[in-house]
Amino acid sequence: MLKSIAYTHHKVRYSFQDPFKQSLPRGSESEPGKLSFRQKNTWDIYAMEKGREQLNAEWEKFRHFFKREEIPTKTVLLKEGQISERMFYIEKGCIRLSFNKDGKDITFQFFFEGEGVSSAESFRNDEPSLFSIETIEPCILHILHKKDHETMIESSPLIKQELEKQTFQRLMYYQKLFLSRIKNSPEERYKELLEQSPHILQRVPQHYIASFLGITSVSLSRIRNRK
Amino acid sequence: MLKSIAYTHHKVRYSFQDPFKQSLPRGSESEPGKLSFRQKNTWDIYAMEKGREQLNAEWEKFRHFFKREEIPTKTVLLKEGQISERMFYIEKGCIRLSFNKDGKDITFQFFFEGEGVSSAESFRNDEPSLFSIETIEPCILHILHKKDHETMIESSPLIKQELEKQTFQRLMYYQKLFLSRIKNSPEERYKELLEQSPHILQRVPQHYIASFLGITSVSLSRIRNRK
DNA sequence: GTAAAGCGATAACAATTGTTAAGAAATGCT
DNA sequence: AGCATTTCTTAACAATTGTTATCGCTTTAC
């Protein structure tokens, strides 16, 4: 199967920049609503700044820590309850986060190309992960091991500072995610997906979308028939 | 009314330590489940450490930045959409966070004595707050103004570092909050409140509890009749 | 002390969603 | 291409929650 995806000998086309700058998952940006593609714009502004270039140069120093791997569909990268030792950066493909409730699988976030994925608490505190990480499509990932991550932080105060800044941004993001989840009905949230993240609806199977919206796939069909 | 609460001439009995160490709201710890009173234990351990004492001594240097105020019930400390210039530390009383959806008021967090409250994004980025902050009971608060907060951070690398550490903890907390909200039904979450945070049920009016659980007060009455 | 406001419980009815099952279409594998 | 698996839609019925209104009790304000 992987053989049919001729990426193995394909020249990598992305440039190596801060791999976790985009760590706020794009799939869920429809929920805070205000984050849709805003980071792309912010990214452009940063890209113009000298500091940005300096930071990218700093990331470039640790490029060798990221191991490139091709991963098939429905591969569990991290299982809920395990301790995470790796972070993932997506070059190609789609990933979902999920957890188990009474035998039922609940999806709550999607990640796409250019985004970083991890179970931060597990990774940083050696605690069992609260959720699983799984590929939805065939993926090309760049994988950072925990030890290399620590080495990187110790070696570069600049990167350490940047990651702290991102922690705050993620806090803000989760706050918005949380509020949006409370605030909007599944139907409202589906409509936001339609308007702001159509790529999710095109690439992710409906039953994952339903799970993500917190409803059954039957209810999702009903919602889709209402519009 | 405030005159009947004879705190005005009452000697302050708390000691001035890191006022935001307890910034993870206690009211919602029932949701992550695993955080219930755990911080109190962690606090004790920290209190034994020399570093802890050093940090408290550092906080003590900025005690004068915190303005003590007595606030009556149902006082809006920050209105949704406004820009926050203050952080609050509760000496006495109860505070809730809420936002408005189609004319309806939705409560999502409670704070009690010993806890810090703020709209972090608004405070830090000068953005309109996503929610309101309101007292449920008569309160005694220690209020930190934004300028003083900035002065404090610039003056003390130790405190700056401590606040960064807390940011990560808050990120973890919100992640758990989010997952718990998705995972558990209102009834399950009500039962957790019963077991782990009975003080909330005793002090907070039922209709706020219902709102917090994401249901109407009628549904909450039904749930209460089921147990 | 009295009036008003606030709070909680309950009933009746409407609306929404879940569960289960069946069928059709799309996708994956050999 | 054929077959197996997965995905999506739909119907029927059950379960749950929302909306509205009413009542009684408690608290607050004057």
CA of B208: nearest nucleotide by C1' is C7
Task: State mean pLDDT over A135-152.
Answer: 94
Query: Is A220 a member of any domain?
Result: no
Using an 8 Å Cβ cutoff, are A123 and A87 in contact? yes
CATH number assigned to the domain comprising residue A86: 2.60.120.10
Query: How many beta carbons lie within 10 A of that of residue B156, not counting itself?
Result: 17
Query: Is B205 a member of any domain?
Result: no
| % residues pLDDT > 90 (chain A) | 56
Q: Which nucleotides of C are covered by protein (CB under 7 A)?
A: 6-12, 17-21, 29
Q: What pLDDT is attached to residue A78? A: 95
- Distance CA B204 to C1' C3 in A: 25
Could you tell me the residue range of the domain that residue A166 belongs to? Answer: 2-183
Query: Is B216 a member of any domain?
Result: no
Q: Picking from A17-21, A22-26, A195-199, B185-189, which range would have the lowest pLDDT averaged per residue? A: A22-26
Handedness of CA B202, B206, B212, B218 (dihedral sign): positive
Q: What pLDDT is attached to residue B57? A: 86
Q: Write the residue in A108, A130, A167 that is nearest to B171 by C-beta.
A: A167
Query: Is A107 a member of any domain?
Result: yes
Interacting residues of B210 by C-beta distance below 8 A, sequence separation 6+: B216, B217, B219, B220
Q: How far is CA A118 from CA A25, A115, A214, B181, in A?
A: 11, 10, 22, 20
Query: Is A27 a member of any domain?
Result: yes
Task: State mean pLDDT over A45-61.
Answer: 71
List chain B residues with pLDDT less than 70: 1-50, 227
CB closer than 7 A to strand C: which residues? A 1, 185-187, 214-216, 218-219, 222-223; B 205-207, 217-218, 220-222, 224-225
From chain A, the residues in CB contact with B185 under 8 A are none
Q: What is the DSSP string of A56-111?
A: HHHHHTTGGGEEEEEE-TT-EEE-TTSBP-EEEEEEES-EEEEEEETTEEEEEEEE
Query: Is B179 a member of any domain?
Result: yes
**Beta-carbon separation of A131 and B179 below 8 A:** yes
Distance CA B133, CA A177 (A): 19
Query: Is B20 a member of any domain?
Result: yes
Task: State mean pLDDT over A115-121.
Answer: 90
- Preferred mutation among B80, B118, B161, B175 to probe A, highest tally of A CBs within 10 A: B175
Residue A71 is encoded by which pair of tokens? 């991963």
Number of domain units in chain B: 1
Instruction: Establish, for the pair of chains A and B, how many residue pairs have beta carbons separated by less than 8 Å.
Output: 66
Residue B100 is encoded by which pair of tokens? 């408005």
Query: Is B165 a member of any domain?
Result: yes
Q: Is the pLDDT of residue A177 over 90?
A: no
Q: What pLDDT is attached to residue A161? A: 87
- Preferred mutation among B98, B132, B174 to probe A, highest tally of A CBs within 10 A: B174
Distance CA A224, CA A155 (A): 51
Q: What pLDDT is attached to residue B194? A: 93
Q: Is the pLDDT of residue A28 over 60?
A: no
Task: State mean pLDDT over A183-209.
Answer: 93
Strands A76-78 and A86-92: unpaired
Q: How far is CA A176 from CA A14, A32, B26, B33, B88, in A?
A: 30, 5, 20, 21, 21
Helix (H, G, I), strand (E, B) or coil at B84: coil
Residue A46 is encoded by which pair of tokens? 């940063």
Q: What are phi and psi of A63, to 5 degrees?
A: -55, -35
Sort A143 into a burial class: Cβ within 10 Å, 0-12 / 13-18 / 19+.
middle
Q: What pLDDT is attached to residue A29? A: 39
Sort A105 into a burial class: Cβ within 10 Å, 0-12 / 13-18 / 19+.
middle
Helix (H, G, I), strand (E, B) or coil at B192: helix
Residue of chain A minimizing CA distance to B171? A171
Q: What pLDDT is attached to residue A42? A: 40
Task: State mean pLDDT over A32-45.
Answer: 36
Q: Which residue has the higher pLDDT, A67 or B26?
A: A67
Q: State ipTM.
A: 0.80
